Amino acid sequence: MYLKNAWYVAGFSEDFPNGALTTRTYLEVPLVFYRKDDGAVVAMEDRCCHRLAPLSHGQIEGDDLRCMYHGLKFAPSGKCIEIPGQPRIPSSMCVRSYPTAESHGCVWIWMGQPEKASQADIPDNVGPDLPGWSMLPGRLEVNANYMLVADNLLDLSHLSYVHRDSFGPGLVFGQTRPKVERLEKGVRVSRWLLNQPTAKYIREKIDATHLDVWITYDFIAPGLFLLYAEMHEPGAAQKFGEDAPSGVEPLHKEYTSQAVTPESLGKSRYFFSYGSWDRTPGLAEFYRDFSYLAFNEDAEIVSAQQRTIDASPGITMQPTSFDAATLQYRWILERLMRDEGIDGPLIGGGRAESNHVQQAP
Ligand code: FES
Ligand SMILES: [Fe+2]
């Protein structure tokens, strides 16, 4: 099952170069992407309606795409506008075209009802080109269901174990319960980590052995993870209780926007941009390389988890108190799917019947 009426990240702007046909599969739909003369991205089903040849073997002609099997030409809307040697073009001669948008270095695609696609629903704080932040794009393919990748991001207690050699936060993430708040289409998870040893990956940046760290993130359907962190002098957190810091300039701040887009129920594309406010030359590259190191650790454990789930029919997961955000997000996503008329449990655990791979509708 997939949420359809939602904007998914299809890739970074640089993944869709001018003059090239780019193929991707999202929500089990093979797609071909290209750019029009004005740079706007077109996304179509990668299947000619004539004899079902892949349009990705075709040719871009201005704003249009010609199938290079028998020469039918399609407008960006998917409507066939030329059949060589046949003046009459039946209205049924068309391929499905999908709404797209582009912002802050990300290309988005809407896989549901086109009339419901509104660019106003695209969050403004996603992408490597966010003003002010120093970030570069990164991407991984994960052999796991998108909900397992979401679970991984919704419960950062795994940092203490999966990332012991990269982020290296010690056991604090696995022992500090965050505050979880429900949003309209997701959850917000926030916490202070008090008097933490300065993480080794930023020791060169910060002249302090210990820090109070504020971490807050939103996880928003259909799979966006937006995390903001501030590092303060030890003791700063006392003033704020469970609340966000205000009126105090942090020693350091970091932001990451990440997106999970399902290719199929067993494979996901994972996009990330991670960096700091600091524009020191080389820092964006450092964060990108560090992201690959850390997020490959996630990909490895989540893919292994998927293999174990696949080999465990009928075995259920058992939640702990750290699964609060995971369970609340499931509830929200299932509600959004029910609104689309899609019913049934998500995979990946949290409900007794939930850890079986469901067939796509
Ligand atoms: S299959 Fe595309 S034109 Fe024939
Ligand atoms: Fe992780």
Q: Do 146 and 265 reside in the same domain of the chain?
A: yes
Last residue of a domain, one of 64, 93, 121: 121
CA of 211 to the centre of ligand 2 (A): 21
Q: Name 88's Cβ contacts closer than 8 Å, sequence gap at least 6.
A: none
Question: Is the pLDDT score of 352 beyond 60?
Answer: no
Q: Which amino acid is at 253?
A: K
Those residues whose C-beta lies under 8 Å from the C-beta of residue 244, and which sit 6 or more positions away, are 190, 214, 216
CA 301–ligand 2 middle distance (angstroms): 9
Cβ neighbours for 44, distance < 8 A, ≥ 6 positions apart: 31, 32, 55, 65, 74, 76, 78, 95, 96, 97, 98
Q: Which ligand is nearest to the CA of 47?
A: 1
Q: What's the pLDDT score for residue 280?
A: 80
Query: Which pLDDT score is estimated for 144?
Result: 97
Whether residue 132 is contained in a domain is answered as no
Cβ proximity of 126 and 226 under 8 Å? yes
Q: Are residues 98 and 145 in the same domain?
A: no
Edge-first strand listing for the sheet containing 7-12 = 7-12, 106-110, 100-103
For residue 328, being part of any structural domain is answered with: no
| CATH number, position 271 | 3.90.380.10
Ligand 1 proximity of 86 Cβ (cutoff 6 Å): no
Residue 88 and residue 186 share a domain:
no
Cα–Cα dist 39/60, whole Å: 13
Question: Could you tell me how far CA 244 lies from the centroid of its own chain?
Answer: 25
User: What is the interface pTM, i.e. ipTM, of the complex?
Assistant: 0.97
Q: Which-ligand-closest: CA of 56?
A: 1
Question: How many Å lie between the centroid of ligand 1 and the Cα of residue 25?
Answer: 20
Q: Is the CB of 59 under 6 A from ligand 1?
A: no
Residue 131 lies in a domain: no
Rounded Cα distance between 318 and 305, Å, is 14
Characterize the bridge pairing of strands 22-26 and 252-264.
unpaired
On the CB side of 302, how many CA atoms lie within 13 Å of its CA?
A: 30
How far is ligand 1, taken at its centre, from the CA of residue 71, in Å?
6
Nearest atom in ligand 1 to the alpha carbon of residue 58 is 2
Nearest CA to ligand 1 atom 4: 70
Task: Give one DSSP letter per residue of 226-295, joined into a string.
Answer: EEEEEEE-TTGGGGTTTSPP-SS--SEEEEEEEEEEEEETTEEEEEEEEEES---TTHHHHHHHHHHHHH
Whether residue 173 sits in one domain with residue 94: no
Does any domain span residue 51? yes
6 lines ligand 1 (CB under 6 A): no
Picking from 96, 121, 146, the residue at the C-terminal end of a domain is 121
Beta partners for residue 101, in sequence order: 108
83 lines ligand 1 (CB under 6 A): no
> Based on the domain organization, do 34 and 73 belong to the same domain?
yes
pLDDT in tens, 33-78: 999 999 999 999 999 999 999 999 999 999 999 999 999 999 999 9
Ligand 1 atom closest to the Cα of residue 70 is: 3
Q: Is the pLDDT of residue 313 over 50?
A: yes
Give yes or no: residues 114 and 146 share one domain. no
Question: Given this model, what pLDDT does residue 221 score?
Answer: 97
- Do 161 and 203 lie in one domain? The reply is yes
For all residues of the chain together, what is the average pLDDT? 91
Report the separation in Å between the CA atom of 139 and the middle of ligand 2, taken as the mean of its atom positions. Answer: 14
Asked if residues 110 and 6 have their Cβ atoms less than 8 Å apart, the reply is yes
Specify whether 242 is located in the same domain as 179: yes
Cα–ligand 1 centroid distance for 52 (angstroms): 6
203 in the same domain as 93: no
- For residues 252 and 106, state if they share a domain: no
* pLDDT for res 343: 80
What pLDDT sits at residue 136? 96
**Residue 167 C-alpha to ligand 2 middle, in angstroms?**
9
Q: Looking at the predicted structure, is the pLDDT value of residue 252 above 50?
A: yes
Residue nearest to atom 3 of ligand 1 (CA): 70
Residue 244 lies in a domain: yes
Of residues 170, 167, 152, the one with CA closest to residue 290: 167
SS3 159: helix
**Contact status, residue 196 vs residue 172, Cβ threshold 8 Å:** yes
Domain boundary among 59, 93, 121: 121
**Omega before residue 313 within 30° of 0, cis:** no
The 10s digit of each residue's pLDDT in 268-306 is 999 999 998 877 888 899 999 999 999 999 999 999 999
Q: Whose CA is nearest to atom 1 of ligand 1?
A: 51
Name the burial class of residue 36, with classes exposed (0-12), middle (13-18) and buried (19+) by CB atoms within 10 angstroms of its CB: middle
pLDDT band per the 50, 70, 90 thresholds, residue 87: very high
The pLDDT of residue 57 is 98
Ligand 1 pocket check for 70: Cβ under 6 Å? yes
Asked if residue 85 is part of any domain, the answer here is yes
Q: Residue 319 domain-assigned? A: no
- Answer yes or no: is the C-beta of 180 below 6 A from any ligand 1 atom: no
Q: How far is the CA of 98 from the centre of ligand 2 (A)?
A: 32
* Residue 353 exposed, middle or buried by CB count within 10 Å (0-12, 13-18, 19+): exposed
Q: Could you tell me if the CB of 93 is within 6 A of ligand 1?
A: no
Closest CA to 45 of 58, 61, 29: 29
Domain count, the chain: 2
Residue ranges making up the domain that contains 31: 7-121
Q: Note whether 166 and 72 are same-domain residues.
A: no
Do 170 and 306 sit in the same domain of this protein?
Answer: yes
Residue written as token pair 């029910």: 338
CATH number at residue 91: 2.102.10.10
318 found inside a domain: no
- The Cα 26–Cα 334 span in angstroms is 19
CB contact at 8 A, 230 and 250:
yes
pLDDT at 361 > cutoff 70: no
